Chains A and B, each alone.
Chain A
Amino acid sequence: MFTFPPQSSTADTRTDLQRARAPRAWRRVLTAVALLAPFIVSGPGVPAAGQQPSEIAVVISGDPGTPPRYVVPDFVPLGPDAGDVAAGLGQVLWDDLEFEREFYMIPRDTYATVPTARTPGQIPFDAWRELGADAVVFGTVQRTGDEVRVQVRLFNVQTRQSVFAKEYAGTPANPRLYAHTIADEIHQQQRSLQGVARTKLAFASDRNRERAVGTVQNRDVKEIYISDYDGENPRRITTNRQLNIMPVWSPDARAIAYTSYRRGYPDVFVARIYDGVQEEPTGGGSQNWLPMFSPDGTRIVFTSNRDGNAELYVMNRDGSGVRRLTNHPSIDTTPTWSPTGTQIAFTSDRAGQPQIYIVGADGLNLRRLTTDESYADRPTWSPAPFNEIAFAARTGPGYDIKTYDLASGVTRRITFGEGTNESPSYSPNGRHIAFSSTRAGGTQIFTIGRDGRGVRRVTREGNNTSPSWSN
C-alpha cells in the first residue's frame, strides 16, 4: 500500500481539529504534504499509519446485528478555488467505504432533501437520522494556490459527537487520494481493518492499440499498466511496443516483475517504477516467464525452459543463486509463494491435464492439491488470516475462479460462468480477488469479494488481463 508518515491520532471528541493544528502535529501533516504532492511517484516507503492506539476510540455501531449505516455527502468547497478538488470526493469515499462492506452505505441519491451543511455546526443530524444514518461524514476542502487542505470528520448521528477528525494537506494533483486515505483510516479506526483504497492494480493492456514491431503483421502489443484499485488513474509502465504480460508487484509495491518479449523471446524483467529503472535479473539468453516475488521480496520464482522444458526456478532478486525447483518432463509453471515463503504452489500437467501442486521452497515434499478439477491453473496464495489458494478452473467452455481452503480441503466457487474468468490475485487484506473476465466484452479486470459477492468492473478500455494487486 502507498502509505504516508504516521499522522496524529484520529479520534478526538473534544477538540475537533485543534489537535491537528498543534505545531508538532502540523509539522507531521506537512510532511505528509510532500508525499501527497507527486503522490505515488516519489517518496520512500514509510511505515504504515494507524498503528498508534487512539486516545479515545469511539466506534459507531448500528442496530444490533446490522452494520452501521453511513452517509457520505459531497465535500464542501470553502472558496471558489476548492471546487475542482472537492467535486467527487464524497462519491469516491462512499465507493471506498462500500468496497469493504463493513458498513451499510446509504445511497447518495437519497440525500437530495437533506440540507447542505457548510460547518459542523450546521450538520442536520435530525434529517440524517430520519434517513436511517448512524454515521455521517463531513468534509471540507480549502485551496490556496497549489496547496490543498482537506478536513474530514466522522460524526455519530446519535450522540452528535465527532469520533474521527483529521486534516490532510497536499496538492490538487490527485484529489481521489484524499478520499482513499480517509477510507483506509476510517476502516482502520472503526473496524481495525486494513483497507485497500490506496492499493494498486498492475495488469497488461492493449488499450493504446499500438502494433508490434516485427515481421508478422497485425499484432497488437500489450504494455504493463498500473491503476488505483478501482481502475482510476491508469498509468503506463512499459513502452517497448512488444508483448509485455503477467505483471506482479514486489511486496514493497515499488517494483513490478513481468514477462516481456522485447528481446524476441520471453524473459523476466523488473521495473522499479518509481525510480525509472529497468532490470533483467536473468541476464537474458534464456527463456524465462511468469515471475513471482517471494513475500520478503528477496527472491523470484519463475518458469524457464533453459533445461529443455518448462520447470520452476528460484533466483535472488538480482539474478544470482539460480536454483532449479522441479524436475519432470511435463510442464511445471505458474508458481506462487505461500505467505511465509516456505512453499510454492504451481501448475503441472504431469498427471495429464494442468493441476495445482505444492512443493516446498527447497524443492521437497511435492504434493498434488486439486483432484476434482479437469483443468486448473494460476494458483494464488491468499494472505493471512485466510489460508486458501485461488485458481482458475475449467467449468465448461470457460473458466471460473475457485478457492481451495488448505485447512479443510474444501473448494469453493467464486464466479459462476459469466464469461470466462482467469488469473486471480488477492487484495493485500485477503478479502478481495482481482481477475480477468470476458463477461463484459473483450477481456477486462474485475474485483470480487472472496465470498463471491460484490463484483466490480475495474477496466474499460481495450483488453486488460492478468491483474496483480499491490500491498
Chain B
Amino acid sequence: MSLRIRNRPIRAGWLVRRDRRHGLLSLAVVAVAASLAMAGCGQRQAPVPAAPPAATAPPVASPLSRSTVPPDESVPALSEVLSGPIVDDDILSRSLDELNRDSPLSPVFFGVDSAELDDAGRAVVASNAATLSMYPTWTVTIEGSCDERGTAEYNLALGERRAVAVKAYLVSLGIAASRVQTVSYGKEYPFDAGHDERAWAQNRRGHFVITGK
C-alpha cells in the first residue's frame, strides 16, 4: 500500500527497508497510512479541510477500503511507540541540508489555479504524516508554490493557501500544529525553471522542508 501511494519508488524502498527492521513500526505505519487515506476523502474546500478523526473514520466510499487493517483500530501516537532512539538510522545521522536534498518527505502537487488536495495529494500528506510521526522531534515548513502562469501578486496568496491546506490536513492527521510552519513563495523560487507543462506541474507544489530535527 505504501508503494501505491508514494510517487517516488526510492522513498518507498526506504520505507519498506525501515519496516523490515521494525516490525512494530511497520504495522503502525500501515495503520496510519490506511486510516489517513480513508479519512481524507470528500474535502473540496481549501484551505481548511475539516479534521477527520484519524482513528475512527468509517471506510465508506474510500477507495482504500479493502485495507487489511481494521478501520476502527485505534492508532496511538507513534512517538509513544518509538520511545527509544532508532539505532543504525542513516536518516538521523544526516544533516538538515542532506535531509532536504533527498528528503524523506514528498511534495504535494496541485491542479491549475487550485489549492485543493486531491486523492494523490492526501496520500502524500498521509505518508509524510507517518514519517513525521516516526521522527517526533522534526519540525517542518510547508512551502506553497505556484506555476508562472498566475500573476506574481495573486500567486503569493495562492501559494499561501496551498501551504495552509497541506498543513491543515497534516494537523488533522495528528501532527502537532506547532511543528508545522507555512510559507508561500508564489512563483518565486521555482523548482523547475522551465516554461512548459512539466515545469508548471512541478511548481504547483506544497514542498516539505525539514527545519529542525
Choose one: B47, B156, B164; the contact of A290 (CB below 8 Å): B156
The contact string, 1 if C-beta is below 8 Å from chain B, for chain A 315-328, is 00000000000000
Verify A378–B181 contact, CB threshold 8 A.
Answer: no
Contact A290 to B153, CB < 8 A, known contacts A215-B97, A264-B141, A308-B48: yes
Per DSSP, are chain B's interface residues mostly helix, strand or loop, or mixed? mixed
Q: How far is the CB of A290 from chain B (nearest CB, A)?
A: 6
Quick one: given A219-B189, A287-B160, are A347 and B47 in contact (CB under 8 Å)? no
Residue of B160, B183, B207, B211 ringed by the most chain A CB atoms within 10 A: B160
Q: Taking the complex as formed, is A466 at the interface, i.e. its CB lies under 8 A from any CB of chain B?
A: yes
Identify which of residues 217-243 in chain A touch chain B, using a CB-to-CB cut-off of 8 Å.
Answer: 217, 219-220, 222, 243
Assess the A266–B151 pair: CB atoms within 8 A. Answer: no
Min distance, Cβ B174 to any Cβ of chain A, angstroms:
21
Please tell me if the beta carbons of A331 and B161 are within 8 angstroms of each other in the complex. Answer: yes
A303 within 8 A of B: yes
User: Is B135 in contact with chain A by the CB < 8 A criterion?
Assistant: no
Most buried by A among B97, B188, B207: B188
B94 to chain A, nearest CB (A): 12
Which A residues touch B152, using CB under 8 A?
A: 245-246, 378, 422-423, 436, 465-466
Shortest CB distance B162–A (Å): 11
Chain A residues with CB under 8 Å of B154's CB are 331, 333-334, 347, 349, 354, 377-378
- In the complex, the answer to whether A422 meets B100 with C-beta atoms within 8 Å is no
Indicate whether B73 reaches chain A with its CB closer than 8 angstroms. no
Is A215 within 8 A of B96, CB to CB? yes
Give the chain B neighbours of A399 by CB distance below 8 A.
Answer: 151
- Please give, as numbers and ranges, the residues of chain A lying within 8 Å of B184 by CB-CB distance: 266, 287
Q: Is A392 an interface residue (CB 8 A)?
A: yes
The digit string for A34-68, where 1 denotes a CB below 8 A from any CB of B, is 00000000000000000000000000000000000
Contacts of B153 in A (CB 8 A): 246, 290, 333-334, 347, 377-378, 423, 466
CB of B157 within 8 A of CB of A215, answer no
| In the complex, chain A residues 341-378 whose Cβ is within 8 Å of any chain B Cβ | 347, 349, 353-354, 375, 377-378
Interface assignment of A261: CB less than 8 Å from any CB of chain B: yes
Among B47, B156, B181, B183, the residue within 8 A (CB) of A333 is B156
CB 8 Å contact bits of A418-457 with B (1 = contact, 0 = none): 0000110000000000001000000000000000000000
Q: A308-B48, A309-B161 known; A265 and B151 CB under 8 Å?
A: no
The distance from the CB of B172 to the nearest CB of chain A, in whole angstroms, is: 15
- A287: chain B residues at CB < 8 Å are 160, 183-184
Q: How many residues from B make CB contacts under 8 Å with A?
A: 31
Which of B100, B157, B188, B189 has a CB less than 8 Å from the CB of A331?
B157
Pair A333/B100 contact, Cβ less than 8 Å: no
- Tell whether, in the assembled complex, residue B183 and residue A265 are in contact, meaning their CB atoms are under 8 Å apart: yes
In the assembled complex, the Cα of A305 lies from the Cα of B161 at a distance in Å of: 9
- C-alpha spacing A354/B152, complex, angstroms: 12
- Select from chain A the residue with minimum beta-carbon distance to B156: A289
The CA-CA distance from A397 to B160 in the complex, in Å, is: 23
Contacts of A246 in B (CB 8 A): 152-153
| Docked-complex contact B96 and A245, CB < 8 angstroms | no
B interface residues with partner A (beta carbon < 8 Å): 47-48, 96-97, 100-101, 113, 141, 143, 149-154, 156-158, 160-161, 164, 181, 183-185, 188-189, 207, 209-211
Contacts beyond the supplied A266-B183, A378-B151, A378-B153: 16 A-B pairs with Cβ under 8 Å: A215-B96, A215-B100, A215-B211, A216-B100, A216-B209, A243-B189, A246-B153, A309-B160, A309-B164, A331-B154, A333-B153, A333-B156, A347-B154, A349-B154, A375-B151, A436-B152
Chosen A-B contacts, 30 in total, with CB atoms closer than 8 Å, are A212-B189, A215-B210, A216-B100, A216-B143, A216-B189, A216-B207, A216-B209, A217-B101, A243-B185, A261-B185, A265-B181, A265-B183, A266-B156, A266-B183, A287-B160, A287-B184, A308-B164, A309-B161, A310-B157, A310-B161, A333-B154, A333-B157, A334-B154, A347-B153, A353-B113, A378-B152, A378-B153, A397-B149, A422-B151, A466-B153
A interface list, Cβ under 8 A from B: 212, 215-217, 219-220, 222, 243, 245-246, 259, 261, 264-266, 287, 289-290, 303, 305, 308-310, 331, 333-334, 347, 349, 353-354, 375, 377-378, 392, 397-399, 422-423, 436, 465-466
